[in-house]
Amino acid sequence: MHIAIAGNIGSGKTTLTTKLVKHYKWEAHYEDVENNPYLNDFYKDMQRWSFNLQVYFLNSRFRQIISIKNSKKSYIQDRTIYEDAKIFAPNLHHMGLMSTRDFENYMEIFNLMDGFIDGPDLLIYLRASVPILVEQIQKRGREYENSIRLDYLTRLNERYEAWIGEYDKGNLLVIDVDNLDYAEKDEDLSKVIEKIDAKINGLF
């Protein structure tokens, strides 16, 4: 079983991944933010480091998928390879923060990788409004995220909605998180798990 959790920066992916791993007693693949050599530089100078960062994430996510594919264990993955290619890289290109040359090179790499992978058994999309994203980002207090602009988050949200509207890689569960607090409230976590169980049971 391979469940992937998608969502904008601050939507609660890592928190939900941790909660679900504990509940289902599965393995986790987290987004590599602590050891990422480009993240700090990227938020200081997006144009200079955008291509480097996106290739790093692409490589990291591809390795995760191959690891999951070759394992007999069940995994929950924090963010997908599709978000890199369908949302973050195109958004950087659109904003003039990644050159057309770099973007086309990046997409060629992704398209090559995409031919070797399958979508997750279930994709969970965490839908959150920009005010909630900002609140969550401020709450976790990562220094390099302090400079994230509102227009950047807004554009990402728009791209997420467009991508989810056309998602065709497998089963999809959309969870509106604005009025949920599964980090602190067990009843909210139970609601989410019930929805996931219903989807998982429908796979068999």
Mean pLDDT of the chain: 92
Segments in 96-185 forming alpha helices (H) = 100-114, 130-140, 150-165
Q: Where are the domains of the chain?
A: 2-201
pLDDT tens digits for 171-195?
999 999 999 999 999 999 999 999 9
Architecture of domain 2-201 in this structure: 3-Layer(aba) Sandwich (3.40)
d(CA 46, CA 97): 6
67-95 per-residue burial string, b: 16 or more CB within 10 A, e: under 16: ebeeeeeebbbbbbbbbbbbbbbbbbbee
The rounded distance, in Å, linking the Cα atoms of 130 and 10 is 9
With H, G, I as helix, E, B as strand and everything else as coil, classify residue 181: coil
Q: 143: Cβ–Cβ under 8 A, 6 or more apart, which residues?
A: none
* pLDDT tens digits for range 52-84: 999 999 999 999 999 999 999 999 999 999 999
Please indicate whether residue 78 is annotated as part of the active site: yes
* Cα 81 versus chain centre, distance: 8
pLDDT in tens, 2-39: 999 999 999 999 999 999 999 999 999 998 767 789 98
What is the pLDDT, as a whole number, of residue 137?
A: 85
- pLDDT of amino acid 44: 86
From 32, 45, 78, 118, the catalytic residue:
78
